[in-house]
Amino acid sequence: MKKIFVTFLFTVSALTIVKGQFTGIGGGLAMSSGFRFHEQTLPVNKSDFVGISFKGFCKISEPFYVSPSLTFFYPHITKGQASKQTISSLMFDIDGHYVINAPNSFEFYGIAGFNILFAGNKYSSEGIPAYKESDNALGLNIGAGTYIKITEKFSIYGEAKYVFNNRYNQLMLNAGILLNIEEKKKQKNSE
């Protein structure tokens, strides 16, 4: 839990420092193929598939962007008669985007980046905690995405990427809505 809290604080701090450089911020839903905690094959050791994601887009120079994101997956809970096992996970990604078509209302981009996964396994029997484990893994992302401007203020995005690491490989799908900060700055400057 401390690692999750520290990671969250670090992310919020970093986003606050570079807020002026972001072209878009937002969030949405994430889906994953999941992973097995410590590669154990029992069904109780599988992570959940659905989560919520928070994302930012920062323009470096055309056609390069950087996109940090934080994804919280819903815990996978397995209950027995007197026991309960919970697999939880959190991902922090920093992805580079290369926009393939010229910037306009519809952009298609390639993704390459880094991933840090924090995973936990908690088991309790008759309401008494029996053991708690945590693990983390560093990985690489590769994939593709699209960014579609629906109004001057809002855009939607969709991404598909594969996360490679030594224990927890998985396919990720993300979709959500973004607030276009760059457009809001242009509007303020024109007033």
Give the chain's radius of gyration (CA, Å). 19
Across 2-27, average pLDDT: 60
Domain ranges of the chain: 2-190
Domain 2-190 has CATH 3.40.50.1000: no
Q: Give the pairing of strands 50-61 and 22-32.
A: antiparallel
ω into residue 63 within 30 of 0, thus cis? Answer: yes
| Between 38 and 166, the higher pLDDT residue | 166
Q: Is the pLDDT of residue 184 over 80?
A: no
pLDDT digits (tens, 9 = 90+) for 61-80: 878 889 999 999 999 888 88
Across 108-126, average pLDDT: 91
